[in-house]
Structure 1
């Protein structure tokens, strides 16, 4: 039996495993819910909610072609054992970015079954090799979905097709009411709306908290969960670019494409033990009260609190805000970044393990000697001068005069607002943090302008 094993590739278009398997006759499209995976500290119910929405869409697409999408809530090994009992032998078709790829490779090898893996291989190649592999993958033609999907009439009892059984599967965390909904159809609609209209102010709005939520592509969650392939996005954007007659529109799309390809080439290898040890030495003792106030958006620093409250509510931030909240907890407050990283992973709807780890390690000094220690108040005035983002997410500051919105503690009637004072003096905390980080490299850099006003993004923010 030909098994198509879905995971982070929840789509039917430009999906090589399903296209190749369908050529061989009967196939069994399968999504396994492994309880241990969803107990991982990085995953939460908002991810599962997005996955379920994606599975509903995928199931509909498969049914339109005469097939069915099957599910199982069990260990992968137990499911494979039952499939072997039912069909004597199995061929598994899987995408390389599957979270259970290593388990599948081990089990299939041990049981001498055929495994077909698709997608660009970039983990074990040089930086130059990564660029070549990615470009080769992106240049290949898009793969059409099969016209017909034939599934077996009988399947083992460990499988089911009724999605209602999935709805009751418990995953920890907090649901979101205002986040994006999963599914290939919605991913395609989002891409089309970006290319047709929203990309017009892509560059100028990329740092601005509220405008960026409209002008950015908003494709990150769909990419992370495989509702749409990066190859599809790149080729559709390139087609649009070729038709552009407006130079400014070309500039917007070229910037987007540059970040998209950079994201594809990112490989996250573990940081060196020596670097981890050095950074750990300069950290303060763990402060649980600070940590909880950061999560709850009650630090007393408006832009940090607005960003964290927005993230809890919507599951998304632009990269400037992501960098700021991470730098604040790990660099300004000098707390260990491991627990904050796990919390952010749970909250980001577009959580991708490799990219997330790369971002956090880059910001917190585990990948570079040049650590960015940002002044959130200064940057807030630059990216949200009227305080619209702060007012939207911090109800306590809705009516405060604009000249105080970034520093409400200066407002004469501050203690009547019900908003907490800042838990630290940001300027003094940043000065101390710079001294500690500078001690690692023995570089006596001035503490004045170094990094405080910067809002530069890593190149693969889309």
Structure 2
């Protein structure tokens, strides 16, 4: 029996495992809900809800082709054992980015069953080789969905087709109130709307909190959970580039493609720990109150608080805001990054382990020169009139514009119900710079950029 194991590839278009398996006759499309995967600290209910929405559409798409999508809530190995008992021999078709790949390979080797892995392997390659492999991959023809899907008449009792059972599974965390919904059709619509209209101000708005929510591609979550393939995004964007009417339009899309490539490169790296022995020397002791105020958007710095409250409600921030909230707690407050990194992973709808780890380490000064940000200065630059702040901080909704970034200067501040700043950010940043500088001097010779690493990274697509 040919088993197509869905995981982080919740779509039917440009899905090579599905396409290749369908050529061989009967297939069993399967999504295994591994309890251990959803018990990870970095996963939350907002991720699960996005997956459920994606599975609902995927199930309908497969039914339209004559098949059914099967589910199982169990350990992967136990499900595969039952399938092997039922069919005597199985072929497993899977994408390389599946979270279950390592377990699949271990089980299949032990049980002498075949695994067919699809998708490029970018891990541990040089920058030059990555560029070559990436170009080869994205220029390959897109895989059409199967014309028909044939499924076996009998399936073991460990499988079921009622998605309501999946919905009943309990996952920790906060649901999104106003976020994106999962599904292949929504991913396609999002890409189309970006290429038809929204890309026009992609570069100019990329740092601005509210405008960027419209002019960014907003494809990140759909790519992370596999509602759309990178190859599809690349080819459709390239086609749009060929029809651009101006140099400015080409610049917008070329910048977008460069970020798409940077994302793929970074997401192929192996996740690492978020702290080092050297950095631990200059970190402050853990302060739970500071952490809670940062997480709940009560630091007293409007742009930081608006960003954290927005993230809580929508699951998305542009890269500038992600950089700011991360730098604030790890570089300004000098707090250990493990717990904040996990908290952000739970909140970001587009959470992808390797990418999140690389991004977090980059901002925290673990892979490049540390970046210490003054939220007052940057807030005035990216949200000068305070429109973003007013949207997400109701306490400051009616404050005069001249006080929006420094509300503690407002004569009626103590009647607003908004917290005072938790620190003197100028002094804290100065102290942090001195500490990082002393650490750099201790660890000379200074680190050089590794091959292919970029100075300015942004994964906000």
Q: Which residue of 1 aligns with 2:439?
A: 440
Q: Which residue of 1 aligns with 2:209?
A: 209
Whole-Å Cα distance in 2 between the matches of residues 31 and 427 of structure 1? 51
Q: Which residue of 1 aligns with 2:382?
A: 383
- Given that 2:303 and 2:376 are in contact with CA atoms closer than 8 Å, whether structure 1 keeps it comes out as yes
Q: Which residue of 1 aligns with 2:48?
A: 48
Q: Which residue of 2 aligns with 1:101?
A: 101
- Given that 1:191 and 1:217 are in contact with CA atoms closer than 8 Å, whether structure 2 keeps it comes out as yes
Deviation at 1:243, TM superposition (A): 1.1
Q: Which residue of 1 aligns with 2:452?
A: none
Aligned length: 449
Q: Which residue of 2 aligns with 1:423?
A: 422
Whole-Å Cα distance in 1 between the matches of residues 416 and 269 of structure 2? 44
SS of corresponding position for 1:203 = coil
- Determine if the alignment matches structure 1 residue 413 to structure 2 residue 409: no
- Determine if the alignment matches structure 1 residue 355 to structure 2 residue 365: no
Q: Which segment is superposed worse, 164-173 or 242-251? A: 242-251
Alpha-carbon spacing, 1:270–1:218, altered in 2? closer, same or farther (3 Å): closer
Whole-Å Cα distance in 2 between the matches of residues 99 and 152 of structure 1? 26
Whole-Å Cα distance in 1 between the matches of residues 298 and 178 of structure 2? 21
SS of corresponding position for 2:157 = coil
Q: Which residue of 1 aligns with 2:445?
A: none
- Determine if the alignment matches structure 1 residue 132 to structure 2 residue 138: no
Whole-Å Cα distance in 2 between the matches of residues 441 and 271 of structure 1? 21
Structure 1 stretches (4+) deviating beyond 4 angstroms? 270-273
Deviation at 1:245, TM superposition (A): 1.6
Whole-Å Cα distance in 1 between the matches of residues 145 and 167 of structure 2? 27
Alpha-carbon spacing, 1:357–1:390, altered in 2? closer, same or farther (3 Å): same
Q: Which residue of 2 aligns with 1:255?
A: 255
5 Å matches for 1:114-129? Answer: 114-129=114-129
Q: Which residue of 2 aligns with 1:452?
A: none
Q: Which residue of 1 aligns with 2:21?
A: 21
- Given that 1:258 and 1:459 are in contact with CA atoms closer than 8 Å, whether structure 2 keeps it comes out as no
SS of corresponding position for 1:210 = helix
5 Å matches for 1:276-295? Answer: 276-295=276-295
Q: Which segment is superposed worse, 355-364 or 255-264? A: 255-264
Deviation at 1:177, TM superposition (A): 2.1
Whole-Å Cα distance in 1 between the matches of residues 396 and 420 of structure 2? 12
SS of corresponding position for 1:56 = helix
Deviation at 1:247, TM superposition (A): 2.3
Deviation at 1:442, TM superposition (A): 1.7
SS of corresponding position for 1:5 = strand
SS of corresponding position for 2:327 = helix
Whole-Å Cα distance in 2 between the matches of residues 74 and 373 of structure 1? 45
Q: Which residue of 2 aligns with 1:268?
A: 269
Cα-to-partner distance string for 1:336-390 (whole Å, 9 max, x where unaligned): 001000000000000011110000000111112x100000110000000000000
Q: Which residue of 2 aligns with 1:111?
A: 111
Q: Which residue of 1 aligns with 2:297?
A: 297
Whole-Å Cα distance in 2 between the matches of residues 89 and 193 of structure 1? 45
Q: Which residue of 2 aligns with 1:458?
A: 457
Whole-Å Cα distance in 1 between the matches of residues 350 and 270 of structure 2? 20
5 Å matches for 1:146-295? Answer: 146-266=146-266, 267-269=268-270, 276-295=276-295
Q: Which residue of 2 aligns with 1:446?
A: none
Whole-Å Cα distance in 2 between the matches of residues 155 and 269 of structure 1? 37
Whole-Å Cα distance in 2 between the matches of residues 128 and 440 of structure 1? 33
Q: Which residue of 2 aligns with 1:453?
A: none
Alpha-carbon spacing, 1:261–1:221, altered in 2? closer, same or farther (3 Å): same
Cα-to-partner distance string for 1:250-271 (whole Å, 9 max, x where unaligned): 1111111111112112243455
Q: Which residue of 1 aligns with 2:324?
A: 324
Whole-Å Cα distance in 1 between the matches of residues 18 and 434 of structure 2? 55
Q: Which segment is superposed worse, 190-199 or 262-271? A: 262-271
- Determine if the alignment matches structure 1 residue 392 to structure 2 residue 391: yes
Whole-Å Cα distance in 2 between the matches of residues 372 and 327 of structure 1? 7
Whole-Å Cα distance in 2 between the matches of residues 124 and 240 of structure 1? 32
TM-score (norm 1): 0.95
Whole-Å Cα distance in 2 between the matches of residues 461 and 156 of structure 1? 43
Alpha-carbon spacing, 1:239–1:270, altered in 2? closer, same or farther (3 Å): closer
Alpha-carbon spacing, 1:373–1:117, altered in 2? closer, same or farther (3 Å): same
Q: Which residue of 1 aligns with 2:401?
A: 402
Whole-Å Cα distance in 2 between the matches of residues 349 and 217 of structure 1? 15
Whole-Å Cα distance in 2 between the matches of residues 271 and 227 of structure 1? 26
Cα-to-partner distance string for 1:164-205 (whole Å, 9 max, x where unaligned): 111110000011121000000000000000011111110100
Deviation at 1:130, TM superposition (A): 1.9
SS of corresponding position for 2:174 = coil
Deviation at 1:293, TM superposition (A): 0.5
For structure 1, the 5+ residue unaligned runs are 444-455
Q: Which residue of 1 aligns with 2:341?
A: 341
